[in-house]
Amino acid sequence: MQSQKSYIPTISFLLIVFFIGWSISSLSPVPKGENVPLNQFSTERALVHVKNISAKPHYVGSKAHADVRTYIVQELESLGLSVEIQDQIAINRKWRAGASTKNILAKIEGSKPGNALVLLTHYDSAPHSSLGASDAASGVATILEGLRAYLEQGNIPENDIIILISDAEELGLLGANAFIKHHPWAKEVKLAINFEARGSGGPSFMLLETNGGNKQLIKAFNEINPKKAVANSLLYSIYKLLPNDMDLTVFREEDNIQGYNMAFIDDHFDYHTELDTYERLDKNTLAHQGAYIMQLLPHFAQADITQLHSEEDLVYFNFPGLDLLNYPFTFVLPMTILGFIWLFILIFLGFKKKKLHPISIVKGFIPFLLSLIFTALLCFYGWKIILKLYPQYREILHGFTYNGYYYVTALLSLALALCLFFYRKFFLNYSVSDLVIAPIFIWLLINLLIAFYLPGAGFFILPVYLALLVLSFLLFTEEKNHIQLLFYTIFFLPVLIVFSPLIQMFPSGLGLKMTVISGVFVVLIFGLMLPVIASFKNRKEFTKLFLLIGVLALISAGFTSEWDTERKKPNSVVYIADVDTNKAYFASYDQKPDEYTSQYLSDDPISGNLFQDFSPSKYGTALSLYHETEFINFHQSEIKLIRDSVVGDFKQITFRLTPLRKINRIEILSENIMHFKEFTLNGEELKGNEDFIFTTENRPHVLSYYFSEPGEFIEISFSIPKHEKPEFLLLEASYNFFENKDLKKYTSNFSKRNNTMIPKPFVLNDAIIVKRSIQF
């Protein structure tokens, strides 16, 4: 008996630790060996494509971009497919971006043509230094290798299979726009499967794109008996709220086409950077993408894909070895009410049996609420304090540092130590039955809010049911022994399996500031597991252990906080020639100069935004440092006014802009508020249902155009109310900061970035910018 008492709590603790680790590590499949049969997906063969595509940055307009296009065409042709290049001007209304796109298209004719499945990804990398191994050479490689294996099996699809390797996704989903709006094949498409990345590792999440309900999409997905599927309706709901669009978003918004996004988000710090390399792409992640395509492609090539629209939404989540578990959104509120009823019945019977005590229940809220409040404060202000101690982290615009997992470990370990600290005396003075009422009640309140505001998180009621089941055993089982502890632990293992990956995902995918959400999750789960935790007699030692883990993680983070060849510092510099004032500046989006940027900015640059609303950039990053320098009079684009007339209440203007030097991108910002009734770019009309297609009331950005071919020009026609003055700010940017001979004469003695630095992503970087005002 003594032996049982000694070992069962230890077994219980080890089970908890093991299943937390297993739930995270087992999400992605392990790649098979090198000698994979030709009719199966080979990660090694796919990696060859990744290596070839990501050898150089291949942003739109670069030579490598054209080389990658040629490579993909040749690989598709080697599969026996006829390949088409769709050359089409495209403009995205939401992002106000345009370019001449070159989509890569091929089709496998089905035995019953008329309905088409699209395999979708993009081949351009982010401007202008990203190698794009994950985003999205991995997607191209997945489709190429998946198609090869599929065809090797001798499959003859019923549905047409369209392969769309889109162009200019990074510039505003422009290739997808070009296909949906202009290609005749788009009318056949009933379902699309998109392969994407927002990091360089981790499991690939399945995210849905639908204008209606998800019921038929989930039903169809479960028909393939998915293995290693990672998906839940909370992520689906959050994704729908975020502004992060993918190519598949265009299919949904423009043509109501349903689809599945397969995207991975771990190691987010590599996203859109020079570090998005073949070597840093996680092989397990690529294998996960391969597992998806080898399940989805054969099924949907044969299935009826015309019945995927639905008005009903399902709550769903993955569990190892099972299909996506699901039930309707309409169940969420009744299940929550049932939980309240179950709890109140147990409280009533507990009072009757004198196993629950009103005052003790009320006091049980004290440690739980203190744990929630102080954990939230710890994670929220902890990250702010870390930024104060290590201000260099602000240079990583992704919000997740290279050593970010250390900080997640530290903050969550300290959160557990806080929980044990606040409960230390309550475990001694009150029964666990009284103490667990507070967490269950708070969980039920959260589920009540979920039912009304975020039903995609409706599966949060299931941990409550397990806790209520354990509470029922506590109240109606007379004998207390350590075997019960083992049973209670096993009851809660599904909670750990489902929620541990979510706890890990929030900060890694959305930034370390989101550790506060993970911390709250930890406390909430801790509260439900009180019947297990209270059985551990060495809780004081556990408190010390979690404190030690937290401190060691912080120390480890401190030792890895400096920049090195693996954890490179992002920095930025641009040259701006202001034609209106004949002044020039070196400017940066960085917080402070370093040994590289100080060559341009000096050791004491001026702080502040040089130009208001200068250039749109992700995360709203503005120029923060600048230093005046020698003005170089670069060739400015020629602007020719073609039409200037008034028709009724509207002024109609057409002008042509022709670059007189190589430029990669031009931005047009309004100098005053304008309301655009019509807007056309190189004959491509921007359409909308409102009175005005867009206005500059909230943001001055009118257009970003990306040049892809030599000799390109843009012709813009627009219509605005006749009383408004068309005054614009033009920013002409070229990515030849280091090669331009005029600038090189000035900076020839300056050193390049060392091997611990990379160009900062998400901002205009390493560019020469000519700024000037125009008016008509």
* Cα distance between residue 99 and residue 168, in whole Å: 7
From 603, 579, 708, select the one nearest 170 (Cα to Cα). Answer: 708
Domains defined along the chain, listed by start: 2-24+330-559 (no CATH), 30-319 (3.40.630.10), 568-776 (no CATH)
Q: What is the pLDDT of residue 143?
A: 98
Using CA atoms of 126, 129, 134, 136 in order, give the dihedral in degrees to the nearest 10: 30
pLDDT at 4 over 60: no
pLDDT range class, residue 735, cuts 50, 70, 90: very high
Grouping H, G, I as helix, E, B as strand and the rest as coil, residue 37 is: coil
* Cα distance between residue 326 and residue 76, in whole Å: 38
Q: What is the pLDDT of residue 616?
A: 61
Helix segments in 271-357, DSSP class H: 283-302, 332-352
- Asked whether the beta carbons of 403 and 567 are under 8 A apart, the reply is yes
**DSSP type of residue 29:** P
Other residues' Cβ atoms within 10 Å of the Cβ of residue 362: 12
Q: What is the pLDDT of residue 479?
A: 65
Instruction: Convert the pLDDT of each residue in 422-442 to its tens digit.
Output: 999 999 999 999 999 999 999
User: Position 34: which residue type?
Assistant: E
Query: Greatest CA span in the chain, whole angstroms?
Result: 97
pLDDT at 357 over 80: yes
From 417, 670, 450, select the one nearest 533 (Cα to Cα). Answer: 417
**DSSP type of residue 135:** I
Q: What is the pLDDT of residue 474?
A: 93
pLDDT range class, residue 167, cuts 50, 70, 90: very high
User: Position 766: which residue type?
Assistant: D
**Three-class SS of 617-655:** CHHHCCCCEEEEECCCCCCCCEEEEEEEEEECCEEEEEE
What end-to-end distance do the CA atoms of the chain give, in Å? 92
Element (H, E) at 3: helix 2-25
pLDDT at 640 over 90: yes
Instruction: Convert the pLDDT of each residue in 24-75 to its tens digit.
Output: 888 888 887 778 999 999 999 999 999 999 999 999 999 999 999 999 999 9
Q: Which residue has the higher pLDDT, 211 or 367?
A: 367
- Asked whether the beta carbons of 584 and 609 are under 8 A apart, the reply is no
Q: What is the pLDDT of residue 481?
A: 67
* Cα distance between residue 60 and residue 709, in whole Å: 9
Q: What is the pLDDT of residue 3?
A: 47
678 forms beta bridges with 719
Tokens encoding 514: 């989101």
Using CA atoms of 27, 32, 37, 43 in order, give the dihedral in degrees to the nearest 10: 80
Q: What is the pLDDT of residue 243?
A: 67
pLDDT at 278 over 90: yes
Q: What is the pLDDT of residue 690?
A: 80
Instruction: Convert the pLDDT of each residue in 465-483 to its tens digit.
Output: 999 999 999 999 876 666 8
pLDDT at 8 over 90: no
Rounded to an integer, the average pLDDT of 291-301 is 97
- Cα dist. 650→265, 643, 647, 692 in Å? 47, 13, 5, 12
* Cα distance between residue 549 and residue 701, in whole Å: 48
User: Position 364: which residue type?
Assistant: G
pLDDT range class, residue 2, cuts 50, 70, 90: very low
- Cα dist. 337→326, 473, 647 in Å? 19, 21, 62
- Asked whether the beta carbons of 718 and 676 are under 8 A apart, the reply is yes
* Cα distance between residue 640 and residue 15, in whole Å: 73
Q: What is the pLDDT of residue 35?
A: 85
Q: What is the pLDDT of residue 390?
A: 96
Q: What is the pLDDT of residue 438?
A: 98
User: Position 621: which residue type?
Assistant: T
Tokens encoding 611: 């130009």
Average pLDDT of the chain is 93
From 192, 164, 170, select the one nearest 86 (Cα to Cα). Answer: 164
pLDDT range class, residue 7, cuts 50, 70, 90: confident
Q: Parallel, antiparallel, or unpaired: how do β-strands 189-197 and 258-266 relate?
A: parallel
- Asked whether the beta carbons of 223 and 217 are under 8 A apart, the reply is no
Order of all β-strands in the sheet with 714-721: 638-647, 650-658, 714-721, 678-681, 684-685
pLDDT at 287 over 50: yes
Rounded to an integer, the average pLDDT of 357-367 is 97
Percentage with pLDDT > 70 across the chain: 98
> Each residue of 734-772: b (16+ CB within 10 Å) or e?
bbbbeebeebeebbeeeeebeeebbbbbbbbbbbbbbbb
- Asked whether the beta carbons of 459 and 232 are under 8 A apart, the reply is yes
Rounded to an integer, the average pLDDT of 146-169 is 96
pLDDT range class, residue 5, cuts 50, 70, 90: low
pLDDT at 238 over 90: no
pLDDT at 366 over 80: yes
Instruction: Convert the pLDDT of each residue in 737-748 to its tens digit.
Output: 999 999 988 788
Q: How many Å separate Cα 312 from the centre of its chain?
A: 26
197 forms beta bridges with 264
* Cα distance between residue 444 and residue 434, in whole Å: 16
Rounded to an integer, the average pLDDT of 11-30 is 89
* Cα distance between residue 19 and residue 491, in whole Å: 12
User: Position 313: which residue type?
Assistant: D
Residues in the chain: 776
- Asked whether the beta carbons of 442 and 525 are under 8 A apart, the reply is no
Instruction: Convert the pLDDT of each residue in 549-587 to its tens digit.
Output: 999 999 999 999 999 999 999 999 999 999 999 999 999
Lowest mean pLDDT among 150-164, 224-238, 286-300, 716-730: 224-238
Planar angle of CA 160, 163, 165, nearest 5 degrees: 160
**DSSP type of residue 552:** H
